[in-house]
Structure 1
Amino acid sequence: MSAPREPFFPAEKSIRADAQTDLDIRYLGRVDYREAWQLQADLAKQRSAGEIGDTVLVLEHPNIYTAGKRTQDSDRPTNGLEVIDVDRGGRITWHGEGQLVIYPIIRLAEPVDVVDYVRRLEEAVIHIVRQMGVPEAGRIDGRSGVWVPSTRKAADPEAPRRDRKIAALGIRITRGVTMHGLALNCDNTLEFYDHIVACGIDDADVTTLSLELGRDVTVDDAAKPLLEALDDVLSGRMTVADHSFGSAPDPTKL
């Protein structure tokens, strides 16, 4: 299958400017969002200056809402939980315990291809979600992230039944260096999503690996295979395929 659109350079080529060195993987545990955001900014500055190599932060956050640059007032929470306005794209989302968060601090190869980078992140998540037992996982054209279609019956009867997002993406690229990244729902609660319009989308739902599979899938269960897939897709050893099963309006352009 082919990529959603032709990338600026061959899909089998690394998207990293420094493709010859290994990723520096840092497992941080549970980290306050602001602390992690500042760490990302510091590392991105160092990466831009060539003082460090490509670095990937692996962590969880305490419960928090973060609002991207496209967030509307109507998206914001009704439960009083703090919202942090951040410099990534997209709209509002939630982070919290049981959700695997990965922040790649990567210098991208020239010419910088933002779409290709996002599609590669999605591809890594699609690969491991399918590998773990959700073979229907894929994309909805017009919407970022990784989705499970309404046609799939989740193992847990409490799981939502509409098209549902299992992983969210939001990125920022400054001077060719990436920040922010992806969040994969593992065994977190969905309670906090009830109080926002997640990602500005009100015609779909959110799910977790645990709900889809009917068994507990922890952050630790998902971290290693996702990091391996991420390394493969950034390097070009895994290429982006067309996993779209539908299309819908882009909430960032409404």
Structure 2
Amino acid sequence: MTAPRDPFFPAEQSIRASAAPIDVRELGLVDYQQAWDLQADLAAKRAKDKIGDTILVLEHPSTFTAGKRTQPEDMPDESYPVPVVTVDRGGRITWHGEGQLVVYPIIKLAEPVDVVDYVRRLEEALIQTVRAAGVTTAGRVDGRSGVWVPAETKAASPEASTRERKIAALGIRITRGVTMHGLSLNCDNTLSHYEHIVACGIDDADVTTLSLELGRDVTPGEMAGPVVHELKRALAGELVVADHTFATRPDPSKGLTRKVR
């Protein structure tokens, strides 16, 4: 998704309202609803300047989360034994579970709040992290959020050719200038649960993990430090957003309203 205008702040400038250090909390495995409640509490306190900026680093037990644009056809069968939580972030349905790194920045943004620039900075942090880990072709698909790996055509074995693959997802909410929700990076999680939903409303692409792409086990614990490091740099303007777009596809959420409650 190409930004429709230049960002409000120069690329080398911080978009945080504060220059104080960010409090990073590594929480381990946390129930989704419990983490959401914690985010809401921290965001309310951050809006009133009762606390500073905070980044939550964690994993969730297996859970589907349905964003504001989720459609009935995206949903799993009612008999499928994984809970679905309807959430207040953007986008459609996705899955969270063990082996997937989840990072929730609770950040007070400088005014005027620039949502597009914030999302692009999150993406840039993830792209740089994934590339440094070894997936050097990772980038953006214009029209779709998150971080993607390009399709591959294998002449020697056409049946093994791949489609574009999402390796990291984004979903945010900004209230009173404070961010909630955030990003997830597939590390060594199973992909089996994605087969029961239309992930992010996209049925013409696939989902992947760092472990699958690199041919070795890559854990959330291995990636937590690099992701937080690049995220801090991106928010501070030390990591400049670049054009890593390799394809253009339809926006799966454009013009949709929520039909799932």
Is TM > 0.5 for Structure 1 vs Structure 2? yes
Q: What is the CA–CA distance in structure 1 between the aligned matches of 2:81 and 2:132, rounded to whole Å?
A: 37
Q: What is the CA–CA distance in structure 2 between the aligned matches of 1:46 and 1:126, rounded to whole Å?
A: 31
Supply the AA of the counterpart residue of 2:35: A
The count of residues paired between Structure 1 and Structure 2 equals 247
Q: CA shift at 1:83, angstroms?
A: 0.6
Q: Which residue of 1 aligns with 2:104?
A: 103
Identity of matched residues, %: 69
The question of whether the paired residues in 1 share the 8 Å contact of 2:3 and 2:116 is answered with no
Q: CA shift at 1:152, angstroms?
A: 7.7
Supply the AA of the counterpart residue of 1:150: A
Supply the AA of the counterpart residue of 1:58: V
Q: Which residue of 2 aligns with 1:156?
A: none
Q: CA shift at 1:135, angstroms?
A: 0.7
The question of whether the paired residues in 2 share the 8 Å contact of 1:43 and 1:105 is answered with yes
Tell me how large the CA RMSD over aligned residues is: 1.6
Supply the AA of the counterpart residue of 1:251: P
Q: Which residue of 2 aligns with 1:210?
A: 211
Q: CA shift at 1:160, angstroms?
A: 8.2
Q: Which residue of 2 aligns with 1:13?
A: 13
Supply the AA of the counterpart residue of 2:104: Y
Q: Which residue of 2 aligns with 1:132?
A: 133
Q: What is the CA–CA distance in structure 2 between the aligned matches of 1:182 and 1:237, rounded to whole Å?
A: 20
The question of whether the paired residues in 1 share the 8 Å contact of 2:15 and 2:237 is answered with yes
Q: Which residue of 2 aligns with 1:23?
A: 22
Question: 2:42 aligns to what SS in structure 1?
Answer: helix
Q: Which residue of 1 aligns with 2:245?
A: 244
The question of whether the paired residues in 1 share the 8 Å contact of 2:144 and 2:252 is answered with yes
Unaligned runs of at least 5 residues, structure 2? 155-159, 256-261
Supply the AA of the counterpart residue of 2:13: K
Question: 1:111 aligns to what SS in structure 2?
Answer: coil
Q: What is the CA–CA distance in structure 2 between the aligned matches of 1:93 and 1:124, rounded to whole Å?
A: 21
Q: CA shift at 1:82, angstroms?
A: 1.4
Supply the AA of the counterpart residue of 2:48: A
Superposed CA offset, 1:70-124 (max 9, x none): 0000000122421100000000000000000000000001110000000000000
1:83-98 superposed matches below 5 A: 83-98=84-99
Q: Which residue of 1 aligns with 2:188?
A: 187
Q: Which residue of 2 aligns with 1:69?
A: 68
Q: What is the CA–CA distance in structure 1 between the aligned matches of 2:121 and 2:82, rounded to whole Å?
A: 32
Q: What is the CA–CA distance in structure 1 between the aligned matches of 2:10 and 2:171, rounded to whole Å?
A: 24
Unaligned runs of at least 5 residues, structure 1? 154-158
Q: Which residue of 1 aligns with 2:114?
A: 113
Cα 1:52–1:202 shift into 2, 3 Å: same
Moved over 4 A (4+): 2-5
Superposed CA offset, 1:1-37 (max 9, x none): x97852111010001010x211100000000000000
Supply the AA of the counterpart residue of 1:50: D
The question of whether the paired residues in 1 share the 8 Å contact of 2:147 and 2:166 is answered with yes
Q: Which residue of 2 aligns with 1:171?
A: 172
